[in-house]
Amino acid sequence: MFDTVLVANRGEIAVRVIRTLRSLGVRSVAVFSDADADARHVREADTAVRLGPAPAAESYLSVERLLEAATRTGAQAVHPGYGFLAENAAFARACADAGLVFIGPPADAISLMGDKIRAKETAKAAGVPVVPGGRDPELADAARELGAPVLLKPSAGGGGKGMRLVRDLSVLEEEIAAARREARASFGDDTLLVERWVDRPRHIELQVLADGHGNVVHLGERECSLQRRHQKIIEEAPSVLLDESTRASMGEAAVQAARACGYRGAGTVEFIVPGGDPSSYYFMEMNTRLQVEHPVTELVTGLDLVEWQLRVAAGEPLAFGQQDVRLTGHAVEARICAETVSVKAGARGFLPSGGTVLRLREPQGDGVRTDSGLSEGTEVGSLYDPMLSKVIAYGPDRATALRKLRAALAETVTLGVQTNAGFLRRLLAHPAVVEGELDTGLVERVVDDLVATDVPDEVYEAAAAVRLDALRPRGAGWTDPFSVPSGWRLGGAPKPVGFHLRVQEPVEYVPRGSADVTDGHVAVTLDGVRHTFHRAGDWLGRDGDAWHVRDHDPVAASLTGAAHAGADSLTAPMPGTVTVVKVAVGDEVSAGQSLLVVEAMKMEHVISAPHAGTVAELDVTPGSTVAMDQVLAVVAPHEEAEE
């Protein structure tokens, strides 16, 4: 076993790897950018090395700086986690050239299976069924030959980045251009492939583990069908779809795919499965790294996958065979991401969020595990992936695991940053999810039912209670009646005290219940029902949901509005970077025309014209860093639009 391992990553996966290194008595070395100088993974490691400025290209993606950090700290091996350089064959080779063990598969296996086109050819040659499709340079022709709907996918990467489902071939060229742009930004390679879209498919993946002595086993499957924008948000093990026969067949196919590429370490073979015929599964791709959702496999098998990554990399053989693998109980994982919903964009307008974590509560114990990179004071920005943590629940059966996970999400508190915890809790209670009737399009079909667009009255009641409490005089002695928020007036009846507040839209709210305000909590009784919230600053949280309740100045707002009278300002829906500007001041635009693209946390958001008009102001250029709600451009409407 190694004495010292450098963890070439950040956030929750770095903390996760460090935990296993500590349990094995192996010294851990963390690396960090300037933005992560006080991050949790830095504090938990035995040693930490600064890489450089915040942009990933100058820190976490700098092979030279990572290797230098390993050399300076005496590391013998490098664990890449997932993301960044985890599936970069050049990095694996650079580690080997520097005398370091790369805790992952051989560079040739990464290169082969990292290219989705070659991976499909390799799997097919090994007797594994694959999805019909085509590739560059005949991409468009292949898509038209397959017929709509088709799925565009980057050849060089995974994680749903750059994937586009095209149901209307009249917009094929535009979708190809967008997919190339996103693939180039995410992976540095804009090569695409196209696949036939399997309607209402299930996404099921097999965990494999291989050593350097010719042993390859699978550790059962994970159901990953609950996705949004091709990104997994809920994963579970095992899948309710598979019987023992199908599980054995898919497991053997996964093992054959791993053998075909000379695999070593932990990897995942992903399949697309028609929900109506689980025996007709198709190979999609192989992820040559540890998966985000690996904890559910750990809980049902009792194996620490990071530990076995380390042991295999150190040259040890697997201590068990396929006949020794047992799946016991059920585990479900929810990915907690920094994101919010734009009311202007409707319930489907999930957008990256950011901020400082003011109050944090993460459940642990009694069948619940949280893998997290957060701590109070953590600054969540737009430079890195939006996933903050994972909450995993285990039970003897699926119903118990789901119930425990819903309860754990209700206990999760992350005030200061909007997250999807409340949304995931409601998703897990949806009848289709409870019954196991899943497919990759389910979330998009039911999302409107799971996103509350109205702010509950008790939220405003609690916010008003906090403000009333802050205004009340403290201490003994005479109190000026004009300083007490009682609504008292000289020579008149008391006037109800109201507050101008804003969560989504501005409101004037007059409290009408009773309240109990303590440090960190506020409880209000409204219409005979008591509601308890966590609080920090202007933030309130309950059952996984959070509200940022700000004071609203109607006079100042009216003056701001007057400055743009007769025009519509377009604001940034999230903190991020402007990547594309398609117009200039004076340009005539049509309603719905794409004007700019803002990127944050590897996600693109298109800013479109609200109406036909003329671009009156343009305050950004490509590369501009923008804050949430910052004005990007102003479109003056045409006279007919005003009418």
Task: Give a three-class secondary structure readout of 576-611.
Answer: EEEEEECCCCCCEECCCCEEEEEEECCEEEEEECCC
Which of the two residues, 185 and 372, has the higher pLDDT score? 372
**Model confidence at 344, in pLDDT bands (50, 70, 90)?**
very low
Confidence check: pLDDT of 521 > 70 = yes
Confidence check: pLDDT of 301 > 90 = yes
Q: Of the candidates 107, 100, 84, 87, which has an alpha carbon nearest to the alpha carbon of residue 31?
A: 84
Summarize pLDDT for 260-275 with one digit per residue, the tens: 999 999 999 999 998 8
Summarize pLDDT for 105-141 with one digit per residue, the tens: 999 999 999 988 899 999 999 999 998 888 888 899 9
**Model confidence at 442, in pLDDT bands (50, 70, 90)?**
very high
- Give the residue-averaged pLDDT of 589-596: 90
Instruction: For domain 566-642, give the CATH number.
Output: 2.40.50.100
pLDDT of residue 485: 64
> Beta strand 521-526 with 529-536: parallel, antiparallel or unpaired?
antiparallel
pLDDT of residue 316: 98
Please, what is the average pLDDT of the chain?
Answer: 91
CB 391 within 8 A of CB 295: no
CB 254 within 8 A of CB 270: no
State the DSSP code for 489: B
C-alpha to C-alpha distance for 151 and 166, rounded to whole angstroms: 6
Q: Of the candidates 273, 286, 400, which has an alpha carbon nearest to the alpha carbon of residue 332?
A: 400
Confidence check: pLDDT of 489 > 70 = no
Confidence check: pLDDT of 257 > 80 = yes
Confidence check: pLDDT of 41 > 50 = yes
Confidence check: pLDDT of 525 > 80 = yes
One-letter amino acid of 620: V
CB 79 within 8 A of CB 308: no
- Give the residue-averaged pLDDT of 531-554: 95
Summarize pLDDT for 307-337 with one digit per residue, the tens: 999 999 999 999 999 999 999 999 999 999 9
- Give the residue-averaged pLDDT of 11-21: 98
Query: In this structure, what token pair is assigned to residue 32?
Result: 């960090």
One-letter amino acid of 291: Q
C-alpha to C-alpha distance for 387 and 465, rounded to whole angstroms: 33
pLDDT of residue 336: 97
Confidence check: pLDDT of 2 > 90 = yes
- Give the residue-averaged pLDDT of 300-311: 98
CB 387 within 8 A of CB 371: no
State the DSSP code for 495: P
Percent above pLDDT 90 for the chain: 72
pLDDT of residue 565: 46
Which CATH number does the domain 117-130+201-328 belong to among 3.90.180.10, 3.30.470.20, 3.30.465.10, 3.30.70.20? 3.30.470.20
Q: What is the pTM of this model?
A: 0.86
116 burial (CB, 10 Å; 0-12 / 13-18 / 19+) is buried
**Model confidence at 499, in pLDDT bands (50, 70, 90)?**
very high
- Give the residue-averaged pLDDT of 543-555: 91
Any residues with CB less than 8 A from the CB of 483 and at least 6 apart, and which? 471, 473
C-alpha to C-alpha distance for 16 and 25, rounded to whole angstroms: 15
State the DSSP code for 301: H
Confirm or reject CATH 3.40.50.20 for domain 4-103, answering yes or no: yes
C-alpha to C-alpha distance for 297 and 432, rounded to whole angstroms: 23
Confidence check: pLDDT of 452 > 80 = no
Confidence check: pLDDT of 641 > 50 = no
- Point out the least confidently predicted range of 78-92, 367-381, 567-581, 618-632: 567-581
- Matching fold, domains 117-130+201-328 and 330-451: yes
**Model confidence at 348, in pLDDT bands (50, 70, 90)?**
very low
Strand ranges of the sheet holding 588-589, from the earlier edge strand across to the other edge: 568-571, 631-637, 613-618, 588-589
Half-sphere exposure of 375 (CA within 13 A, CB side): 11
pLDDT of residue 451: 86
pLDDT of residue 486: 62
- Give the residue-averaged pLDDT of 616-630: 86
pLDDT of residue 347: 42
Confidence check: pLDDT of 353 > 80 = yes
Backbone φ and ψ for 324, nearest 5 degrees, come out as -90, -10
pLDDT of residue 642: 46
One-letter amino acid of 418: Q
**Model confidence at 496, in pLDDT bands (50, 70, 90)?**
confident
Which CATH number does the domain 132-196 belong to among 3.40.50.800, 3.40.50.1370, 3.30.1490.20, 3.60.9.10? 3.30.1490.20
> Beta strand 47-52 with 27-33: parallel, antiparallel or unpaired?
parallel
**Model confidence at 343, in pLDDT bands (50, 70, 90)?**
very low
Q: May I ask the CATH architecture of the domain 330-451?
A: 2-Layer Sandwich (3.30)
C-alpha to C-alpha distance for 206 and 288, rounded to whole angstroms: 12
Percent above pLDDT 70 for the chain: 92
What are the boundaries of each domain within the chain? 4-103, 117-130+201-328, 132-196, 330-451, 457-473+497-551, 566-642
C-alpha to C-alpha distance for 577 and 602, rounded to whole angstroms: 10
CB 13 within 8 A of CB 80: no
One-letter amino acid of 440: T
- Give the residue-averaged pLDDT of 198-205: 91
- Give the residue-averaged pLDDT of 392-411: 98
C-alpha to C-alpha distance for 139 and 159, rounded to whole angstroms: 21
- Point out the least confidently predicted range of 53-67, 238-252, 341-355: 341-355
